[in-house]
Amino acid sequence: MGTFYASPSPEKPAFVKVGDTVNVGDVVCIIESMKLMNEINSEFSGKVAEIYAKDGQPVEYGQKLMRIE
């Protein structure tokens, strides 16, 4: 379990938004777990079609965070 963060800090823009193009390895969000900030990298290249998680929302292991087409 952890907390989803769309940006590196509150005053910074989100890593990605719907409509953005991402490549394999691009940072798409941060998951905070046990006070550690873990950058999450895209496993796919494509366009961000939907972001399921909200900023600051608790998330679970295996939960879908976003859809990339």
pLDDT at 18: 98
* Full domain range(s) for residue 27: 2-68
- Global confidence as pTM: 0.91
pLDDT at position 36: 96
Specify the CATH number for the domain of residue 21: 2.40.50.100
Mean pLDDT of 33-40: 96
Q: Which two tokens stand for residue 29?
A: 């969000």
57 Rama class: left (phi>0) / alpha (psi -120 to 50) / beta: beta
* Number of domains forming the structure of the chain: 1
46 CB burial (10 A radius; 0-12, 13-18, 19+): middle
pLDDT of residue 26: 98
